[in-house]
Structure 1
């Protein structure tokens, strides 16, 4: 058994335990393996261990991996999520390559992703990124009315399907502080679902290695785990 397979099994066990602890149904939280800067062999090892969904932060690197696996390992049927900040001049490659986008935070990006989604592809499954910590270093919108306006726009775009919200909260060790930030996002999703009852708002992308349990208690449906699966990242070797 590879170390990556062992790590996936350990993380999966932790997710299961967290779901049981707070009384959530088993299987209600998806593991998204964050594979940015990781080689294709590491992703293949994870895929052969049963991992399906992978998250990439860098547009060109991610698109290259999507292309490689679609050509060389189409039987794996991997699901690719873009989880990094999006520059408006990079939207075409994102629209052409990925199944999910977690980081929509402004109308221009949403419109370009819609317009550049190739004909014949399924609509992009998208999340609005919310800056719950109000940190200037983090992307995302923080104003409620901006979130509603962005949701209204996305709901009118035929090549995008709004599935929910995503956040990267402040890095704090205190469990209650983590829980409060995640609960804020969960409440916003519930408010959004009431305002847009026709949208499949079923996804909360929140929680990483250090705050996964609090995220799951608050209602996360997708946790983003990288280092705990693949080991430390080498940013000198994208």
Structure 2
């Protein structure tokens, strides 16, 4: 895609986000856009950065590491990289090295490994807990008790190199609007419960909503939407070296 196309796509998405904020009675700028650059070349990311987009999401750690290492040599702008895909334990070290935030923390081993590698690297890193909120949402923490156990350990400062920012989910792949809304409502309710029980953690982010459902997500309280194809076009498989 040409630079102008990416810039126009970003402007269109941002306009839709602002409209949804207004209709929901929310403050302008309360929802951030995470541009998902999976399977798109680094030049597409550069074009997005030049258009003012500084927050990106990647699913695959190997691809993200290669792409954003190269991006460092191509721009001096303060971009952020969020890992949003399910993490294999053997990829966690690289994820910690290259990411600003890991949104897909879904089990104890991942949480503990992130702390281990962040400590070894002398780095602080943000995380979100990925929550299973629907029948067709296969990834994520399914038990409220399990989530609260992790939150309690964070509140006790067992993971000093980690800052939990919020919760992430993927709505069920369905045309059932009520099911999608229920997924988002579940995440919002969990955040409220966490903040009541663990106020020192200040869990505020709700990463929910993608191209097909981000308007609904904003209506239900999303603070971050994850959008890829509507910005970059169809994925260019094999376009990266990862």
TM value normalised by structure 2? 0.93
> What SS does structure 2 have at the residue aligned with 1:63?
helix
Who is 2:87 aligned against? 86
Which of 205, 208, 214 is matched with 2:207 structurally? 205
Tell me, in whole angstroms, the C-alpha distance in 1 between the residues paired with 2:62 and 2:204: 29
Q: 1:65 to 1:86 in 2, by over 3 A?
A: same
RMSD between superposed Cα atoms in Å = 1.4
For residues 63-212 of structure 1, the aligned pairs below 5 Å read 63-73=65-75, 75-117=76-118, 118-121=120-123, 123-135=124-136, 138-155=138-155, 156-212=158-214
Deviations 1:43-83 (A, max 9, x none): 0000000000000000111011221122332x211100000
Who is 1:16 aligned against? 18
Deviations 1:206-236 (A, max 9, x none): 0001101110011100000000000011334
* Structure 1 residues not aligned, in runs of 5+: none
How many residues are matched?
235
Which of 59, 62, 77 is matched with 1:60 structurally? 62
* Runs (4+) off by over 4 Å: none
8 Å contact 2:132–2:169 — kept in the other structure?
yes
Tell me, in whole angstroms, the C-alpha distance in 2 between the residues paired with 1:23 and 1:42: 34
Q: Which region of structure 1 is more displaced relative to structure 2, 173-182 or 18-27?
A: 173-182
Residue 130 of structure 1: how far off its partner (Å):
0.4
Tell me, in whole angstroms, the C-alpha distance in 2 between the residues paired with 1:5 and 1:169: 27
> What SS does structure 1 have at the residue aligned with 2:47?
helix
8 Å contact 1:179–1:217 — kept in the other structure?
no
> Are 2:2 and 1:3 equivalent residues in the alignment?
no
> Are 2:33 and 1:31 equivalent residues in the alignment?
yes
Tell me, in whole angstroms, the C-alpha distance in 1 between the residues paired with 2:68 and 2:151: 27
8 Å contact 1:107–1:153 — kept in the other structure?
no
Q: Which region of structure 1 is more displaced relative to structure 2, 4-13 or 228-237?
A: 228-237
Q: 1:141 to 1:134 in 2, by over 3 A?
A: farther
Tell me, in whole angstroms, the C-alpha distance in 1 between the residues paired with 2:74 and 2:52: 17
8 Å contact 2:40–2:237 — kept in the other structure?
no
Deviations 1:169-188 (A, max 9, x none): 10122333322210111001
Tell me, in whole angstroms, the C-alpha distance in 2 between the residues paired with 1:85 and 1:127: 12
